[in-house]
Structure 1
Amino acid sequence: MTDPMVMGSERSEVGLPAAMEILRSGGSALDAVEAALRRCEDNLEDHYVGSGGLPNARGEVELDASLMVGSSRAFGAVGALKGYPNPISVARAVLEKLPQHALLVGEGAALFAEECGFATAELLTEEAKRLWREALAPSSDSVEGENTSSSAGDDAYRVAALDLVRRLSPHDGPWGTINVLALDASGELVVGVSTSGYPYKYPGRVGDSAIAGAGNYCDLRYGGAACTGRGELSMRAIGARAVVERLALGDDPETACAAMLAEAAMLPDDFRAELRTLALTPDGRHGGAAGQAGSVYALMSVTSTEPEFYPRKVV
């Protein structure tokens, strides 16, 4: 039996020690992944996940998250969730308490979270609000009249929002979805994903993080994979599932990740941005790929005192 381990994308190191503490004590991969991602969601310095996430073009924070269990391929997810700071826990509740469904979005996801007793919170922090306003300010088409009640103003806002989706890129520094993949002492493998989505996105946009096979996929026979970055590309390439399919064919994790990115790179996309991916196998092999040099992922084993960083293969 392989020793427990946990790995994650850039910025997951905030949560990996909590996950490893659970795994060392014999806890489940599901508990470990949820604990790690909750730590990341609660990190107010991270503007791409949970509380403090950057808002959509309307100034509202919408969160996506999912969990997939390798042994059963059970999947739970939420998309465009407002007002609840830990979407990964709501996604787990979908998986465990609402097994007839796999994905809830928008008002339905919030209703379910309320029924489950999850606490609400104001997700738009002052820092995220400042970044949003600064991003809007330089444009001659900025949405300064978003609160108007006139139909002409509403139409102008929608046009400006579409323009923002087209032209705005994230601020400098680490950004994107956070992935966490964990293998426990029983041999179970779980993948979790959480994000506030692409900054200044069109309201209601749901990315790959909430879609089984796109941003998240886990099959205990072969391995698990997760994606971060340009979610629309991952959805079109069925990115995470494509990586696991390569693992099933015998590729090592790094090769499988690189092959998926190479395929996704062939898709035409006027809004192309980098896509990254990670993979972990049931026997503890791990790897990742990215489109930029210097990209890394974090990993902890039972002997780790802190997260260790490994380079991703550059495609």
Structure 2
Amino acid sequence: MIIVCNNEGTKGIPVTARMLSEGARGLDAIEAGIRVVEDDPDVRTVGTGGWPNLLGAVELDASVMCGSTLRTGAVGALKGFTHPVSIARQVMARLPHEFLVGEGAARFAREIGAETGDLLRPHSRESWQKWFDARVKAEHQKSWADAPLIDYCQEAVDPEIGKDTTVFLCMDSHHDISSATSTSGWGWKYPGRLGDSPVIGAGSYADTRYGACACTGAGEMTIRAGTARAVVLYMKMGMSVQQAVEEAVNDMRALKGGLISRVTIHAIDNRGNHHVVAVNGTPENYYWFWVPAMARPETRPATVIQISDDTPKPRSVDSFKA
């Protein structure tokens, strides 16, 4: 058994580890762990308390994947529901579809009785208001719901350097491999923007025959490179998990233009090995790791790799904290 999750999984990984130790199935265990993260208002990039979009609304994305069946479930641009990871799980369990977004995802969530709640907490609301007052033109403030947003989208902020989407990868006692993600996405994003988290093959992928991968950071990059699926395919080709991640980083070197920022790639293989690389990251990038021989989950530093980047970085959210 093994669990790898990113730094935002701090409060959730003990739950996942305990459940796996007690014989729970992988998807059950990582869903439970992510729900803890989604409930934590101090995590500003996932669930309740997440950063809002340009219009001041919190939109959530999530996905799950079962590596033994290759079934997936994903939701995107979901408003007003506190546990998108569980809604994604139910998409997988109850529909012939794999992916729901926007009002369709909300309709499904209401139909299954998913938990609702106010996602925009005071700290996020105040930070957004500070940005709005400082950066939005007076003539647009009067009719913000109908204002042109394309130029303001360039104000999209990095949701706290090194803190992102939460991603969980695991192999359970049955040797089944699973992955799951949950996020509020980039702060001040264009309404309806989807990152890689709900996009199977970009932000996460699991195949029990080979391994799993999940990414955090600039999802625009991993969507273009198909990073999560690529890592698993490289392992299928016979590469080690470390070689597979390094080859996926090489794929990113080919990206030109668009948003080029930072991405952390988390991967495990079907033999219990793992590798985590922070592309354009900092020494502060870390992840959580657990295997049954450990008394408790441990933090470990990610391997930092810098790739060529001539693209201006988005403004940091620190500029607008209340």
TM-score, normalising length: structure 1 = 0.91
SS in 2 for 1:198: coil
- The answer on whether the counterparts of 1:253 and 1:288 sit within 8 Å (CA) in structure 2 is no
- Structure 2 residue 249 is the aligned partner of structure 1 residue 253: no
- Structure 2 residue 37 is the aligned partner of structure 1 residue 34: no
* Structure 1 CA distance for aligned equivalents of residues 168 and 108 of structure 2: 24
* Structure 2 CA distance for aligned equivalents of residues 63 and 164 of structure 1: 20
SS in 1 for 2:168: strand
Once the two structures are superposed, the pairs formed by residues 1-315 of structure 1 within 5 Å of their partners are 4-98=1-95, 100-139=96-135, 141-142=136-137, 145-146=140-141, 148=143, 157-158=147-148, 161-170=149-158, 172-291=160-279, 292-294=281-283, 295-315=285-305
SS in 1 for 2:151: helix
Comparing 4-13 with 106-115, greater Cα deviation is found at: 4-13
Instruction: Report the Cα offset of residue 143 of structure 1.
Output: 7.0
> Could you report, residue by residue, the CA deviation over 1:62-114 in whole angstroms, capped at 9, with x for unpaired residues?
0000000111110000000000011000000001011x100000001011011
TM-score, normalising length: structure 2 = 0.89
> Could you report, residue by residue, the CA deviation over 1:185-226 in whole angstroms, capped at 9, with x for unpaired residues?
011110001110111111111111111111111111110001
Query: Which segments of 5 or more consecutive residues in structure 2 lack a partner in the other structure?
Result: 306-322
* Structure 2 CA distance for aligned equivalents of residues 143 and 83 of structure 1: 29
Query: Which segments of 5 or more consecutive residues in structure 1 lack a partner in the other structure?
Result: none
SS in 2 for 1:138: helix
Task: Specify whether residues 243 and 122 from structure 1 end up closer, same or farther in structure 2 by C-alpha distance, changes over 3 A only.
Answer: same
> Could you report, residue by residue, the CA deviation over 1:253-300 in whole angstroms, capped at 9, with x for unpaired residues?
233223212311321134322111111112111111112232221111
Name the % identity.
36
Task: Specify whether residues 284 and 169 from structure 1 end up closer, same or farther in structure 2 by C-alpha distance, changes over 3 A only.
Answer: same
Aligned length: 303
* Structure 1 CA distance for aligned equivalents of residues 252 and 114 of structure 2: 37
- The answer on whether the counterparts of 1:136 and 1:143 sit within 8 Å (CA) in structure 2 is no
- The answer on whether the counterparts of 2:51 and 2:159 sit within 8 Å (CA) in structure 1 is no
SS in 1 for 2:150: helix
